[in-house]
Amino acid sequence: MRSLPRRPGLLLALALAFTPLVLAGGPKEKEPETKPFAGKVIPLADLAGRLGTKLDADAAATTLVLAGDDGKVYSLLKDEGSRLFFADPQLLKRPMRLTGRLLPGSQILQVLNVHSVVKGRLHDVYYWCDICSIKRHEKKICECCGGPMERREEPVKD
Which tens digits make up the pLDDT trace of 64-103?
Answer: 999 999 999 999 999 999 999 999 999 999 999 999 999 9
The confidence band for 22, taking pLDDT boundaries of 50, 70 and 90, is very low
135 near 127, Cβ under 8 Å? Answer: yes
Which range is most confident: 18-22, 121-125, 137-141?
Answer: 121-125
C-beta of residue 5 within 8 angstroms of C-beta of residue 66? no
Check whether 12 has a pLDDT greater than 60. Answer: no
Q: What is the DSSP letter of 54?
A: -
Closest CA to 85 of 49, 129, 40, 55: 40
pLDDT digits (tens, 9 = 90+) for 34-63: 999 999 999 999 998 888 988 888 887 789
What is the reported pTM?
0.77
pLDDT given for residue 96 in this prediction: 98
Instruction: Give the pLDDT score at 32.
Output: 82
Contacts of 94 (CB under 8 A, 6+ apart): 40, 41, 116, 117
More confident residue, 30 or 137: 137
Structure-model confidence comparison of residues 23 and 45, the more confident one = 45
DSSP, residue by residue, 4-47? HHHHHHHHHHHHHHHHHHHHH-SPPPPPPPPEEEEEEEEEHHHH
